[in-house]
Structure 1
Amino acid sequence: MPLALDLQHDLDANTTSRLIAELEELRTHLGVEGWVINGVSWGSTLAIAYAQAHPERVRGVVAMAVTTTSRWEVDWITEIVGALYPEEWELFVQHAEQAGLGYQRGKERLVEAYRRLMRHPDPAVREAASLAWARWEDAHIAIGAGGFRRDPAWDDRAFRQNFAILVTHYWANDGFCDPPLLDRMQRLAGIPAVLIHGRLDVSGPLRTAWQAHRRWSGSRLVVDEGEGHGGSAMVNAWRQANDDMASRLLAATETS
């Protein structure tokens, strides 16, 4: 499949349900009866969505920096959290206003404006929008990460543009999760899960992980008080959660 920035890529067909179907194809190809699903950040949205679609194939879930890509979460990360970074958010929104596509703050979702910019036929427009998006990405994860640091991964133009195209595509469509994942957590009843989240995660507040935990019988919530959207302590908790899942599954196999 061509990359998202390739004009031959059918972006409209790139949806969460398509990704879930591809995971099922992979599971079938590998001959796996059931598995433990892992996901971090957006990956946790996909992990939860897959588990809801195929609960009979999921033996457990480990999710870190938990998201469900709800409209509230997307509006938070693109607009509301600008209250904490007003100078950076002003640059972010001004770029959309000055790009010539008719965006007006308060009258349209900012993520929708950037979605249109990243699908603009002019490569210069897409490049400028991807740079503005990347700067905002670095800004909103600064708390809990030791301050603003530019991610060197953005130096790769193809990576940066693919990232911005796909993020705005999925976020503008609420992750293609309809109904929202939090409204169908009953599908996961009885599936063990460990949800790991940082208290200082400003870009993805703990609220989502808390709500998922409250609605997911069999889940355990691990909150790291000193980290944001990831970090070494959270990685250690993720590793331990997977070890515990493996031990539990092994014990169940030996006693069956």
Structure 2
Amino acid sequence: SGKFPLIAKIIKANENLSVQVHPDDAYAAKIGDAFGKEEAWFVLESKKAKIFLGFKTEESERKFREAVESGEILSHLNEYEAKKGDIFHIPAGTIHALGGGTKVYEVSSASERTFRIYDYGRGRELHIDDAINVLNFKKSSELRKESVLLRKVGRSEEYLLIEGEKFVLRKLKIHDTMEFKEPVCLLTCISGNIRVRTAAGDISLREGETAVVPANTKFEVQCESGEGREGEEKGSEVLLAIFKNAEVRTWN
């Protein structure tokens, strides 16, 4: 389609955000979009906030419509108390909402198509019929995920957070240097400072900043966070979002 395949955002929800759902690729194609939308959230901050994700029990269209009309839809959803470091996977078709008091890193496939279901009476347009066409009404599986250690290099570590359909999300704890060669990916520094080194040049990232690494590029991630207490290096944390099934082309 010519679009970059991933979107990364930092979302700070000062109030409850709308209950919504995103389409899969098949429905997106029917309405003229290039991609459906799969997402993941990594919680950066939480003030005893809630995240709502997936149905508690299998729903019917009738029960769903009644819950939306009565304003009781949240009581039908799984409710999580969000904690810093929590990881949530949101496949296309999954009903979800961020509660006020959360700050999350969000990565998704390259679509901004959202079907709004409930908006706390704010008066914005709702998309109930489209939502019904794409919602997974089954009882949700566990969508809060646990990290898995993949490797250690010196004092640095790499963890798998999400293995999705469209992307892989990993977390790096960098105390020295780690080397990589991946398909198209996004690097987002979430604490400390890092330097990303490639054959083409270097770039420094501070907390909240993101860099794009082209496909098939060898790169290093180096900690630049200085020293902490008693001379110990503070270390940096990085989220690495990797696009799956990237097509790599070369020209002579």
Tell me the TM-score normalized by structure 1.
0.27
Q: Write 1 or 2 for the structure with the bigger share of strand.
A: 2
Greater RCO (Cα-Cα under 8 Å, separation 6 or more) = 1
TM-score after normalising by structure 2: 0.27
